[in-house]
Amino acid sequence: MVKTHLKMWAVFVSFFIIVFVVNNKYTNRFTETLASVSIETNGSSNELIKTIEKEAPKYEVAPKDAHIDSVWKAIPGYNGLKVDIKASYNKMKDSGKFNKDKLVFKQVPPKVHLSDLPPTPVYRGVSDKKMVAFTINVAWGNEYLPKMLEVLKKHHAGATFFLEGRWVKDNPTLAQLIKHANQEIGNHSYSHPDMANLTTQAINLQLIKTNSIIEATTKEKVKWFAPPSGSYRDDVIKEAARLGLGTIMWTADTIDWQRPSREILINRVMKKLENGTIVLMHPTSPTSDSLDELLTKIEKTGRKVVNISTLLSENRE
């Protein structure tokens, strides 16, 4: 009987020690590394592992949660960086010495994502990314689209084309041309109404009809909505979100529908250009004529022009 009790106590104590050691915050990282890295059992290898673990926090970057800004509304999250101990060790093991230039990182997602926020419009991306997005609202201007697509292709630039549903119905070939040019397509309502003045039922109809015709014509599932003239009320944003659509506004407006000169249009964009800027434009003569120069100027700032999905992605560059 005594032996049985002793065995039970021994098992209990052993279990307690194992749990304490495994869950101890000071041993977690090292035990994870030993479990994932096949290394020689000599002292120098263990020392290199310990050095990498010790130095890693100096080079790691915490992720940023998505949040609602008082001015810019919904701001997406941004991945952090964590040192990959196994991969870093494998790059350094031949020399046996720590080298910060050989550190390998893996991305760490934030805890709060854009989709976790209450329905809120997006006016810009994160300032950490050296990217800007072009949004091109299309309800007319057919004659300018082919040239604009060619210029975007020349610069390896992306854009999100927000298409009016009625326009897609009347111009399926052009809608398919945009899709085949590997440009993103979004929802710009069906008949370009003032969305802020519609009933909830009418809002729903505008969005669903447009999604349906875009998906039937281009086979692309729509993720983003740009309200005509930027007009909305809370019900518009909520109804779009209920249908799985994020609402996109802009940071810099070309006001190209007023037919400005090339110099004025470019200046309007460049004076507001910074990381995360969303540029609004339409297929017009001044936009078509100035697009090549505008892209060249943006490229010279070290920024890449992308579509909305890329800009708002949590992935680092």
- pLDDT one-digit tens code per residue, 271-286: 999 999 999 999 999 9
Q: How far apart are CA 179 and CA 130, in angstroms?
A: 25
Query: pLDDT tens across 158-213, in order?
Result: 999 999 999 999 999 999 999 999 999 999 999 999 999 999 999 999 999 999 99
Kindly state the average pLDDT of the residues 22-40.
47
pLDDT beyond 70 at 296: yes
pLDDT classification of 45: cutoffs 50, 70, 90: confident
Is there a contact between 299 and 273 (Cβ–Cβ < 8 Å)?
A: no
User: What is the domain partition of the chain in residue ranges?
Assistant: 2-116, 131-312
pLDDT beyond 60 at 9: no
Is there a contact between 67 and 112 (Cβ–Cβ < 8 Å)?
A: yes
| Element (DSSP H or E) covering residue 69 | strand 67-69
Q: Rounded to 5 degrees, what are φ and ψ at 246?
A: -85, 140
**Token pair belonging to 3:** 């032996």
State the average pLDDT for the chain: 90
Three-state SS at 257: helix
Query: pLDDT tens across 89-136, in order?
Result: 999 999 999 999 999 999 999 999 999 999 999 999 999 999 999 999
46, 47, 52, 57 alpha-carbon torsion, rounded to 10°: 110
CATH topology of domain 131-312: TIM Barrel (3.20.20)
Of all residues in the chain, the percent with pLDDT exceeding 90 is: 85
